Structure 1
Amino acid sequence: MSRLLLSNSNAAIQRATAAAGSAGSNALRAPSTSSPAISNNHISRRWKSLLIHTNKPQQQNKQQRNQLSSFSPAQTSSARCSRVSNNLYVPKYCRALSTSAVDQAKMSGNTSKCLQLENINPNFITMEYAVRGPLVIRAGEIEKELKQGVKKPFDYVIRANIGDCHAMGQKPITFLRQLLNLTFDPELLNSPNYPEDVKARAKTVLEGCQGQSVGSYTDSAGIEVIRRQVADFIAARDGVPCDWHNIFLTAGASPGIKSVLALLRCKVDGKAPGIMVPIPQYPLYSATIAEYGMTKVDYYLEEESGWSLSTAELQRSYDEAKKTCNPRAIVVINPGNPTGQVLTRQNIEEIIRFAHKNKLVILADEVYQDNIYDKDSKFFSFKKVLTEMGSPYSEMELASFMSTSKGYLGECGIRGGYMEIINMCPQVMAMLTKSITASLCGTTAGQVAVSALVNPPKPGEPSYEKYIAEKNGILGALKERAELVHKTLSSFEGYKVNKVQGAMYVFPQVVIPPKAIEAAKAKGLPADVFYASELLESTGICIVAGSGFGQKPGTYHYRSTILPQTDVLKDMMNKFQKFHSEFMQKYK
């Protein structure tokens, strides 16, 4: 994956100075920051050296990683650390932030710390998470500069980099917040200000808690009554039975995903486990796979056909991976993140047949199942399709994930989610349960949010009319924004934009002029990162470069959310259009 660098701005220099200073080095001093931003040409060589970058060919890095996989743990740690010194394995954060501090500490002779890059888990060095990378850090610095009165060609930062609905102005669903209020402050159950149907649900949840308090520990898999509600929700959605014993309540979808991936961390026939991941992909998967020392097996989505999956590409990826690892699972994100596609039932059936043929566990990331905007698209769960296909497919191992952070709730900070595991060997299921038990339990606030998601007000109940109006209003607004973003970006010179069928993102391909690519190389940046950085500094719009998600070689993309409120989104599109026109004119 291409390496991101921090912007060559005063803020980046100040950060590098602080990092070096905290490591005990006073050898380098940053230029004065009282004047306007210093251009790249005025940054001294020694300051440029703090922004370490590597342009090593991807294949060379892959060969080196494969070589490392054959070492013992001690050899691996030593080898990886030697790679760090050569800047081959320093990821985005370490390269721009931590590495400069470590290097300066060594230069000043400060080696008193117990933890050094040489003796920490080497997998932490390789893992990356672009969604919260250096561009986002720079966006935060710009916001502070604006508050301090620094003049910019814009008045505010638009954070289009992450799917944080409420941060972008979305209002909470009243029903969910009332349920939280009542479960966390039971005295409010006597208040006439809360609808009776919400009170009844709150009492049901509290009766399922030890001491009838959400302040108590729950079962490690979650509050039983809520797990039963999830099972009823899935059964109604899919039209097939659901056993509540297979439901685990989690703090968002991520812990569930990580727990299943951790289960697969075992060499088979002397080969490391491989996890097939779509490219482009959500960086949680690449980061976790790196953290666990597993092998990421890339399969490319077909951009030309709306980011669909090709079984030929799946087989190519699998066959290639078999040479160096043992593929054990396939991740499918539907609707897609960052690509916004919704898989057809036919496509899902093809994936299931492929997974069965190659004996792969399916991990179905379905957190955007409520975010469907295209009239010709429909969400089908992998469980529904797999079950209806009959034997032998209905006996396949499947883990599916859902979250309260997406959909129409958008409650990212509350951290609610669930996973359903089906057809797993009982002994293995016991081991998974044991590993989850070590984490005690998910947050009760998140579990209550899951209850609100799967057991909402029903027609005729006091809360229903307000609830359904809020839900439809949110989803309707997202549909309008998806259409606005697609229509606007499709008009840009050199853009190729697939329709946003679902989820919360657009992932356009940008044909970047050769002169701009050369300018990016001169700054040690991938072209898509250069484009995103220029956009941020010129307009205040923060996006994520496509290299953070993976993309076909020779192509450039970025991910932007469709979440800003409509008036802000229109302003964002106008600024984007002006920037892109000037960018193309500058580098023609």
Structure 2
Amino acid sequence: MPRAVDAVAVLVAMPGARIGLARAVRGCWPRGVLCYSTAAGGPAVSSPLDGKSREKILTLQSMNPQVRAVEYAVRGPIVLRAGEIESELQRGVVKPFCEVIKANIGDAHAMGQQPITFLRQVIALCTYPELMDDPSFPLDAKLRASKILQSCGGQSLGSYSSSQGVSCIRENVAQYIMQRDGGIPADPDNIYLTTGASDGIASILKILVSGEEKSRTGIMIPIPQYPLYSAAISELDAIQVNYYLDEENCWALDVNELRRALYQARDYCNPKVLCIINPGNPTGQVQSRHCIEEVIHFAWEEGLFLLADEVYQDNVYSDNCKFHSFKKVLYEMGPEYFTNVELASFHSTSKGYMGECGYRGGYMEVVNLHRDIAAQLVKMLSVRLCPPVSGQAAMDVVVNPPKPEEESYNRFIREKETVLSNLAYKAKLTEEIFNQIPGIKCNPLQGAMYAFPRIFIPDKAIQRAKELRMAPDMFYCMQLLEETGICVVPGSGFGQKEGTYHFRMTILPAVEKLKTLLQKVKEFHIKFLDEYS
């Protein structure tokens, strides 16, 4: 009897191909057949079931169970319903609102933020080099585009790059990190350009996961967390190890909580990865230098691989907060740490002041990686050939912006500071208005681009949610969407302490739209409390 294991038979269309299939199934039960013809224009191998109906090969029962288990709240049921409501509005269905405001995701340009001119100029020149002759494009943009194109095969953005990324862009990333961190060296060979930060995070997690049963890899993630982490862990069939941020202390990270989570997890898995999001998503806190030192010491002491998600490093709004990179603090703690602790840190074009989500540009820097593992990482990345070269070019502009002596500098600085100052204003506005609403509590938005307010849901509403087989905050957010057109994400999609309820919303909408959104939330929440109290 053939073993009932998953397999795909790959056959070459040639005499005896069906015999080959028969031989193939002796050791397994193939789920699919990839057919290639050796004769030019010849037909692929036909199936004995041609013209007959049969059951689907791929069903919810037969699909990869790890993929089926993946959940991604940021684009979950609430967002699907928001799309349906938009369609209903377009068909003329009467609603108590005229538009859906999608505050569920940090997509800056979709919310009306204008692109940074210099970045778009460089990308345009790279994409269509004939524009080099156009006098309306500044010289510094042309020089950057020329350098990028010279490092591309055939001097074209349409060619593949090396799997690790275009060499001159990796060099600029290393230079950027060195300047950001006050002269601490960065090696271009430790830089990997990625398809957004998400791609880099997933790649590192993939190479870290191993083991079975109690030796399965445990990955420590903050709760609340960005659902990329729980989704990737589920897909890789690793073990999620939760450590809780302290909401009563402005979502602070407590090393004692890390220790509790680690020691408990060792009873059922092998925790070897510690993920940090700084500034926080969805919580918006900015970690102090002292906290980062404690985390690094903890990772060194307990033998953990550190992942530092730093995509919001430009988004710091509170006067008493400052971004400190894990790389910088690691090196300043001395050789005992910076020669031993393995650290991967991530950045992206999608956040900051750029908001270029669609270009899918990003990088990761990995330090203290064993040379043999670095070769394995490059091998794994080579399977997907390379990240989008246009996204790599966008990343280059982020790390190599105009300099004070260049002609684009003044406009660039003006646009950058306008975006960041607007975000700082909106962060303060959101916090203040939420804290004026009975039954809502919002910690200071120190950084990033989201609010994660706590909402107090009456028992009657919790009971109603149970009847509908919904999480209470999902019920709340769905009601908010149906009655106001505002799309936010329930806190249960990010994780939260049992018995507490939250939602995440972005602060990206234009100021007037944000004020409208907050006023609608206020009116809805008061009505919700009255209805279910």
| TM-score, normalized by the shorter chain, greater than 0.5 | yes
The separation in 2 between residues aligned to 1:385 and 1:73, in whole angstroms, is: 52
Whichever residue aligns with residue 361 of structure 2, its letter is G
* 1:332 aligned onto 2:280: no
Q: Secondary structure at the match of 1:304?
A: helix
The correspondence for 1:234, drawn from 177, 183, 196, is 177
Q: Secondary structure at the match of 2:222?
A: strand
The structure with the largest helix share of the pair is 1
Partner of 1:253: 197
Partner of 1:429: 374
- For residues 261 and 230 of structure 1, do their structure 2 counterparts lie closer, same or farther at Cα, with a shift above 3 Å needed? same
TM-superposition CA deviations, 1:73-99 (whole Å, max 9, x none): 969xxxxxxxxxxxxxxxxxxxxxxxx
Q: Which runs of 5+ in 1 are unaligned?
A: 1-71, 76-109
The separation in 2 between residues aligned to 1:394 and 1:337, in whole angstroms, is: 27
The separation in 2 between residues aligned to 1:235 and 1:415, in whole angstroms, is: 23
The 8 Å contact of residues 349 and 395 in structure 2, kept in 1 or not, is answered as yes
Alignment of 1:562-581 (within 5 A): 562-581=507-526
Partner of 1:550: 495
The structure 1 segments of at least 4 consecutive aligned residues displaced by more than 2 Å after TM superposition are: 72-75
TM-superposition CA deviations, 1:534-578 (whole Å, max 9, x none): 100010000000000000001001101001111110110111111
Partner of 1:316: 260
Partner of 2:127: 184
The correspondence for 1:194, drawn from 137, 141, 153, is 137
The 8 Å contact of residues 152 and 159 in structure 2, kept in 1 or not, is answered as yes
The separation in 2 between residues aligned to 1:118 and 1:133, in whole angstroms, is: 21
The separation in 2 between residues aligned to 1:325 and 1:137, in whole angstroms, is: 35
Partner of 1:478: 423
Whichever residue aligns with residue 428 of structure 1, its letter is I
Superposition deviation, residue 269 in structure 1 = 9.2
Alignment of 1:347-366 (within 5 A): 347-366=291-310
Whichever residue aligns with residue 253 of structure 1, its letter is A
Superposition deviation, residue 283 in structure 1 = 0.3
TM-score normalised by L of structure 2:
0.89
Q: Secondary structure at the match of 1:419?
A: strand
Partner of 1:161: 104
The 8 Å contact of residues 73 and 227 in structure 2, kept in 1 or not, is answered as yes
Alignment of 1:369-384 (within 5 A): 369-384=313-328
Alignment of 1:178-577 (within 5 A): 178-239=121-182, 240-267=184-211, 271-395=215-339, 396-577=341-522
Q: Secondary structure at the match of 1:418?
A: strand
Q: Secondary structure at the match of 1:430?
A: helix
RMSD, aligned α-carbons = 1.4
The 8 Å contact of residues 477 and 488 in structure 2, kept in 1 or not, is answered as yes
Partner of 1:39: none
- For residues 114 and 567 of structure 1, do their structure 2 counterparts lie closer, same or farther at Cα, with a shift above 3 Å needed? same
Q: Secondary structure at the match of 1:164?
A: coil
* 1:145 aligned onto 2:113: no
Q: Which runs of 5+ in 2 are unaligned?
A: 7-52
The separation in 2 between residues aligned to 1:530 and 1:244, in whole angstroms, is: 48
TM-superposition CA deviations, 1:61-84 (whole Å, max 9, x none): xxxxxxxxxxx9969xxxxxxxxx
The correspondence for 2:69, drawn from 90, 113, 126, is 126
The separation in 2 between residues aligned to 1:520 and 1:366, in whole angstroms, is: 36
Whichever residue aligns with residue 194 of structure 1, its letter is F
- For residues 571 and 365 of structure 1, do their structure 2 counterparts lie closer, same or farther at Cα, with a shift above 3 Å needed? same
The separation in 2 between residues aligned to 1:490 and 1:306, in whole angstroms, is: 14
Q: Secondary structure at the match of 1:342?
A: coil
The 8 Å contact of residues 268 and 326 in structure 1, kept in 2 or not, is answered as no
The separation in 1 between residues aligned to 2:422 and 2:522, in whole angstroms, is: 22
The separation in 1 between residues aligned to 2:226 and 2:54, in whole angstroms, is: 37
Q: Secondary structure at the match of 1:569?
A: helix
The separation in 2 between residues aligned to 1:473 and 1:269, in whole angstroms, is: 52
Superposition deviation, residue 391 in structure 1 = 2.7
Q: Percent identity?
A: 53
TM-superposition CA deviations, 1:461-493 (whole Å, max 9, x none): 111111111100000111111011000001111
TM-score normalised by L of structure 1:
0.81
Whichever residue aligns with residue 418 of structure 2, its letter is G
Superposition deviation, residue 264 in structure 1 = 1.0
Superposition deviation, residue 392 in structure 1 = 1.8
Partner of 1:582: 527
Superposition deviation, residue 270 in structure 1 = 5.6
Superposition deviation, residue 112 in structure 1 = 1.1
- For residues 514 and 310 of structure 1, do their structure 2 counterparts lie closer, same or farther at Cα, with a shift above 3 Å needed? same
The separation in 2 between residues aligned to 1:527 and 1:206, in whole angstroms, is: 53
Whichever residue aligns with residue 128 of structure 1, its letter is E
The 8 Å contact of residues 214 and 267 in structure 2, kept in 1 or not, is answered as no
Whichever residue aligns with residue 113 of structure 1, its letter is K
Q: Secondary structure at the match of 1:242?
A: coil
TM-superposition CA deviations, 1:384-438 (whole Å, max 9, x none): 0011001321121000000000000000011000000001111111111111111
Whichever residue aligns with residue 312 of structure 1, its letter is N
